[in-house]
Amino acid sequence: MSERHTALRSMHDLGLAAWFGGSLMGAFGVNGGAARINDSTQRLPVASAGWAKWTPVNAAAIGAHLAGAVGELVTESPRVAAQAGVGRASSVKTALTVSALAVTGYSRLLGMKLEKAGNPPVDGTTEPNHSTPSNVASVQRQMKVLQWAVPALTGALIVVTAYMGEQQKPGQVLRGMLGRAGTLGSMKGIGKMAMTGMTGRKMAMSGR
């Protein structure tokens, strides 16, 4: 548990930072900046071009994060089993990661649809106007929600990661291991009491 895994931690943290930061900048910067273009028919193409340029970088960041996360999970598996609370935090982190991946992937599919839409008049990347085709407007309304869902989920991942980092402090590790040992001891004690009770009942019945 005292071994260092700097490369894995760096991949995990840098990948997650780029994933979170890129999605937040995209929502504020790319989408927000495109909405300021005077020509309403150029707002969507400009934003789509920006997101398309970012996609390969984002994919590499996500890949690095996942590789680091899996590597950390493998190297920390003894502590996950021995320290109370670590397994629960790992489950929460996994659920957030899967959700963030799903939302990111679906957002990209919607983004590709907007890229192929051409240059319809819009108020913004995620804001249609009265002249926007209905199929494009439908995709934009979905993107308006999803553009904030990705930074929200990845931001939550950063918080959980920070919490799990606190769990690695020596005092937290000791308390967690003692807590796990106490839980197991309690379960064994309950099982022993149950077995003793059953034995006593059998003896009483035999005495009758």
- Is 81 within 8 Å of 1 (Cβ atoms)? no
| Predicted confidence (pLDDT) at residue 169 exceeds the cutoff of 80 | no
> pLDDT (tens digit, 9 = 90+) per residue, 27-59?
999 999 999 999 999 999 999 999 999 999 999
pLDDT band for position 3 (cuts 50, 70, 90): low
Query: Average of pLDDT values for 48-74?
Result: 95
Residue 90 is assigned to a structural domain of this protein: yes
Residue 1 is assigned to a structural domain of this protein: no
pLDDT at position 208, please?
47
- Is 35 within 8 Å of 130 (Cβ atoms)? no
Q: Does one domain contain both 178 and 160?
A: no
Cα–Cα distance measured from residue 55 to residue 18, given in angstroms and rounded to the nearest whole number: 11
> pLDDT (tens digit, 9 = 90+) per residue, 115-163?
999 999 999 999 999 999 999 999 999 999 999 999 999 999 999 999 8
- Is 61 within 8 Å of 19 (Cβ atoms)? yes
Residue 88 is assigned to a structural domain of this protein: yes
Query: Per the structure, how many domains does the chain have?
Result: 2
Q: Does one domain contain both 151 and 182?
A: no
Question: Based on the number of CB atoms within 10 Å of its own CB, is 140 exposed (0-12), middle (13-18) or buried (19 or more)?
Answer: buried
pTM of the model: 0.79
Q: pLDDT averaged over the chain? A: 85
* Phi, psi angle pair for 75, to nearest 5°: -70, -25
pLDDT at position 139, please?
97
Rounded to the nearest 5 degrees, what angle is found at the Cα of 190, between the Cα atoms of 187 and 195?
125
Residue 107 is assigned to a structural domain of this protein: yes
* Phi, psi angle pair for 127, to nearest 5°: -125, 105
pLDDT at position 18, please?
98
Q: What is the domain extent for residue 81? A: 6-168
CA distance to 30, 36, 71, 114, per residue, from 136 (Å): 18, 19, 41, 7
- What are the DSSP calls for 115-165, one per residue? HTT-S--EEETTEE-TTS-HHHHHHHHHHHHHHHHHHHHHHHHHHHHHHHH
